[in-house]
Structure 1
Amino acid sequence: MTTVRDATLAVLRGYGVDRVFGNPGSTEVAFLADLPDDLSFVLALHEGSVVGMATGYALATGRPAVLNLHTTAGLGNAVGALATARVNRAPLVVLVGQQDRRHLAAEPFLAGRLDQLAGPYPVWVEQPVLAQDVPSAVRRAWHEASLRRGPALVVVPMDDWTAEVDPSLGRAAPDRVHAPVPAAPGPAVDELARLVDAATAPVLVVGAGADGQAAWDALAALADRIGAPVWQEAFGARAGFPQHHPRFAGHLPDARSRLRATLAGHDLALVVGTAAFRQYVYEPGPLLPAGLTVAVVSADPDEVHRSEADLAVLADPADLCAALAARVAHRDRPAPDRPHPAPVPPPAPGEPLRATHVFAALARRLPADVVLVEETPSTRPELHRMLPARQPRGFVSAAMGGLGFGLPAAAGLRLGDPTRPVVAILGDGSSLYAIQGLWSAARYNCGVLYVILSNGRYAVLDRLTEQYGGKPPWPAFGEVDVHGLAGSFGCPARRIRTHPELLEVLDEVVPTLATRTEPLLLDVAVSPEPHFAP
């Protein structure tokens, strides 16, 4: 007899799946018990960490990660992380447990109304009508996640796993689905080329959808060809251009008045791999300076349709920009005058460490191929200036902005690609949203360097409250011991309180990043930075 479980495992095996991320519950035991030797279970201690690890793994491998969530509580705990996975373009196949189908109508204990619980963030959700259909639903979820780059959910009642599959009934999904072959350069490239050649001062804006070697090469060739500066989108989750390139101008501001000032003097903005334009704090007034034409190129239909643009092209950024670079006229223009970050002197005797001291020390030591995971809201601008992404996937952050992504995602990134060193720079407040992820990093030999900037407060929120003329109603939490918490989860940790201690440990640890299999957390006491830009 072939059971639904047997058939589903065969589907996963056929796609080369060798692990399932999850936090187990009773509605999933029939699937998880006695997993075959070629399929391992990667345990995280909270569903947000499950999704965070799986997201990092999927971003590192470029293939869907498979994860298991436990009915209403598990899926509910994971919704914010699933939203981040969707906006981070991470393909996930999510198996969600459900109560026994035979009494589901009576809503027994642990039953859930699951099809809408994650809202619009999954790219596809299905609870098969028949147990027989579960393997086909998992097969389709793989295709949906792969092609639409997001989480695809299959809700499986617990008794379905032991049901018998009747092969005579066939299946409702193909084994393989090929993505559309990119169209040859055509009218879209012709129209974009005319816009670029007619512009007197074009500018490129890049986003996370251009984070890949082919897109970087095409964009660098295009920027050099037309002599344009290149800006990174505000709050970009990944780098869309080599940030050490001479034509890289910096990160766009996230408020309308500063965006207008930055783009003033340009008559064409070619936006690649993102929407036009991401904002944060609302400001009245026009979004763009007068006279600016905007063209968007993205493989994401949502980005194309929500952009304030004169022309939008749904296409692969690398292919289209390579064709465009070969089509437009050459212009001999110097690179933008971009000031280098001012040197950061070491703290004077008795002066506390600041985040910029940590960034400066890392900047002098980290290799070019490092994967830098960021979740430090109050010092993100300084991190961008001092630690540019020099290779694709060199910068990873949470596209949705919610905290709790960075710590488990760093472990998943290292697990998915152990050839790249991974360093996660997190605020202590950020780390506490997913601190239990340290257990998984230690258990599964994810050699991540976690640098925790500990100031015992939500510094970014304290400063925003002060800008509103008020006082924070929440207390500081300086008594929280991140170093001690790390030890309780089996993750080695060190306390850093002085600049010499910081340099000593970085000189010891950074050379080992490429090969280490044990995570290390540095609990670095820092004072809030004196300047702040949200």
Structure 2
Amino acid sequence: MRTVRDAVFDILRQHELTTIFANPGSTEVPLLAGLPDDLRFVLALHEGSVVGMATGWAIGREAPALALLHSVAGLGNAVSAIATARENRVPLVIVVGQQDRRHLALEPFLAGRLAGLAGDYPVRTDQPVRPQDVPGAVARAVHEATTSRGPALVLVPMDDWQAPFDGETVAAPARLLRPAAVADADLVPLVELLAGARSPAIVSGAGVGPGWFALVALAERLGCPVYQESFGGRAGFPQDHPQYGGVLPGGRSGLRERLRPHDVVLAVGAPVFRQYSYEPGALVEPGTTIALVTDDPAVAHRSPADLAYLAAPEAVCARLADLLPPPGRGGVWARVSGHEPYSGGPLRPTDVLRELAARLPHDVALIEEAPSARPDLHAMVPARTSFGFISAANGGLGFGVPAAVGLRMAQPGRPVVAVVGDGSALYGVQALWSAAHYRVGALFVVLANGRYAVMDGLADKHGGGKGPWPPFDEVDMGALARSLGCPAQRIETYAGLTGALDEVLPTLAARETPLLLDVVVTVDP
């Protein structure tokens, strides 16, 4: 007899979702026991790491990834990672186990009120009415996650997997195409706006995606600077390009000053404009026209733009580059300089980043989760491919370590480096076990200052006195890593840092075991 489980496995094979990231519980046993050999199971030791690793896998493969969570406890533990996936616009199919359908009305042990637990962060949450609706719900989740670029949840009672499926219909298309062409006639208002601009600029964001060629062609056609959105989850433009203008400030006064020379600003794959601390005033100076190209409906609907296109950024940029006249302008834009070289004493984060930047291979995937060092990383470590800067777009911690593991699993031949603070690493440290167990050769560079340095800085800026949180300099990240099976080295000197990087980075692409560098850094500038 063909079962619901059999039908779902066929759908997973059809959509190449044959790797399952999970930390399973009892409600998932009927699905997983006796798993077919062509389906790969990847264990993580915490549900945040499950979804974080699946997120990295999806980024690396540029396709949906599959995660399996256990009822309330699993979904609850994973909500922050689900929120990160939504903000980073990463397609995930998440199957959540539920208690046996036959006595759910009695609210048995491990039964969960799952539908709203992740809030509005899933792009879809489906509770199939019948067991026979589960395969169609999983197939639809694949389509919803891909179209909306976010996590789609399917809640499945544990007894559904063995229900019969003979002669049933899967309520979802086997194949769904998404043409992205843009009509030239629809682009006329934007062509006219850009062609008539005295000093245009582009703001690029994570929504540009991995194909930078069209945006580069447009920028070179316009002869204008390209700024990176602030607090973006991914680089949107090659940061070693001569027209790259740096990262936009995260406050309105700085944003207005940076964009003051430009009469037209085109945001591509980025919101208008992401900020951090509130500052009064407009986003741009009066007389500056803002245009937007995005394929995210929520961004299109909320952005205060004068002209917005809800369309594929790559398709729009490619056509604009052909339709616009040659530029009558040119120039060289100031690049952010580095910091003073190491001159002795305790290591600073800038010392680590400078030495890392000097040795990173061109095709490195760099995952960042070091909030206090992020501005220096932007200034000193240019992203030269779309994988050259990847971060959590919503600012929640716990992304960096598991995402690096999942990405390297998806692209085993690509060198992968995660630069994380010790405070950040503690939120996803369980993923180091998965890295060690599955022989994932990523490099984790932990900037260990024993405190939440960014919070200390915010407290100083606020002016209300010292924050009440203590340091945690007793934490030994290297010891934690080794306890999880991941090799680690403690770095306290400049010679130790350069020696470790010289040894590891040249062979990182071929490395089969992870390594954590626990680099002790000062909090002083």
Deviating runs (4+, > 4 A) in structure 1? none
Aligned counterpart for 1:360 among listed residues 354, 369, 372? 354
Local SS of the residue matching 2:444: strand
Local SS of the residue matching 1:513: helix
> Match of 2:175, as an amino acid?
R
1:83 corresponds to? 83
1:191 corresponds to? 189
Contact 2:347–2:521, Cα closer than 8 Å, also in 1: yes
Matches within 5 A, 1:478-489: 478-489=473-484
Q: Does 1:51 align with 2:54?
A: no
Matches within 5 A, 1:97-112: 97-112=97-112
> Match of 2:438, as an amino acid?
Y
1:324 corresponds to? 320
15-24 vs 427-436, which moves further: 15-24
Deviation at 1:161?
1.0
Contact 1:22–1:68, Cα closer than 8 Å, also in 2: yes
String of CA shifts for 1:267-311, please: whole Å, max 9, x gaps.
100110011110110011222211010000011111111111000
Distance 2:201 2:182 in 1: 25
Q: Does 1:516 align with 2:496?
A: no
Q: Does 1:468 align with 2:466?
A: no
Deviation at 1:336?
3.2
> Match of 1:374, as an amino acid?
E
Distance 2:385 2:355 in 1: 20
Distance 1:155 1:337 in 2: 52
Distance 2:439 2:90 in 1: 22
1:489–1:224 Cα change, 3 Å: same
Matches within 5 A, 1:338-349: 338-342=334-338, 344-348=340-344
1:117 corresponds to? 117
Q: Does 1:288 align with 2:284?
A: yes
> Match of 1:345, as an amino acid?
P
Contact 1:249–1:336, Cα closer than 8 Å, also in 2: no
Matches within 5 A, 1:289-438: 289-342=285-338, 344-348=340-344, 351-438=345-432
> Match of 2:41, as an amino acid?
F
- The TM-score with structure 1 as length reference comes to 0.96
2:142 corresponds to? 142
Distance 1:220 1:173 in 2: 37
> Match of 1:522, as an amino acid?
L
Distance 2:169 2:346 in 1: 68
> Match of 1:65, as an amino acid?
A
Gaps of 5+ in 2: none
Contact 1:428–1:453, Cα closer than 8 Å, also in 2: yes
String of CA shifts for 1:133-182, please: whole Å, max 9, x gaps.
11111111111112221111110001111111231x42322211221x12
> Match of 2:262, as an amino acid?
H
Contact 1:344–1:360, Cα closer than 8 Å, also in 2: no
Number of aligned positions between the proteins:
524
Local SS of the residue matching 2:509: coil
Aligned counterpart for 1:221 among listed residues 217, 220, 223? 217
Deviation at 1:334?
3.2
Distance 2:12 2:227 in 1: 41
Distance 2:183 2:251 in 1: 35
Deviation at 1:468?
1.4
Distance 1:224 1:93 in 2: 38
Distance 2:295 2:332 in 1: 28
Aligned counterpart for 1:498 among listed residues 493, 497, 511? 493
Q: Does 1:231 align with 2:227?
A: yes
Distance 2:77 2:39 in 1: 25
> Match of 1:69, as an amino acid?
L
2:10 corresponds to? 10
Distance 1:347 1:33 in 2: 59
Local SS of the residue matching 1:450: strand
2:174 corresponds to? 175
String of CA shifts for 1:77-106, please: whole Å, max 9, x gaps.
111100110111111111100011011011
Contact 2:456–2:467, Cα closer than 8 Å, also in 1: yes
> Match of 1:372, as an amino acid?
L
- The TM-score with structure 2 as length reference comes to 0.98
Distance 2:80 2:338 in 1: 37
Contact 1:355–1:529, Cα closer than 8 Å, also in 2: no
Distance 1:220 1:30 in 2: 50
Matches within 5 A, 1:221-260: 221-260=217-256
> Match of 1:42, as an amino acid?
V
Distance 2:421 2:160 in 1: 43
2:199 corresponds to? 201
Contact 2:245–2:335, Cα closer than 8 Å, also in 1: no
> Match of 2:395, as an amino acid?
G
Distance 1:57 1:443 in 2: 16
Local SS of the residue matching 1:357: helix
> Match of 1:482, as an amino acid?
M
46-55 vs 278-287, which moves further: 278-287
Contact 2:92–2:151, Cα closer than 8 Å, also in 1: yes
Q: Does 1:273 align with 2:308?
A: no
> Match of 2:220, as an amino acid?
D
RMSD of aligned residue pairs (Cα, Å): 1.1
Local SS of the residue matching 2:319: helix
Local SS of the residue matching 1:464: helix
Deviation at 1:332?
4.2
Distance 2:365 2:100 in 1: 43
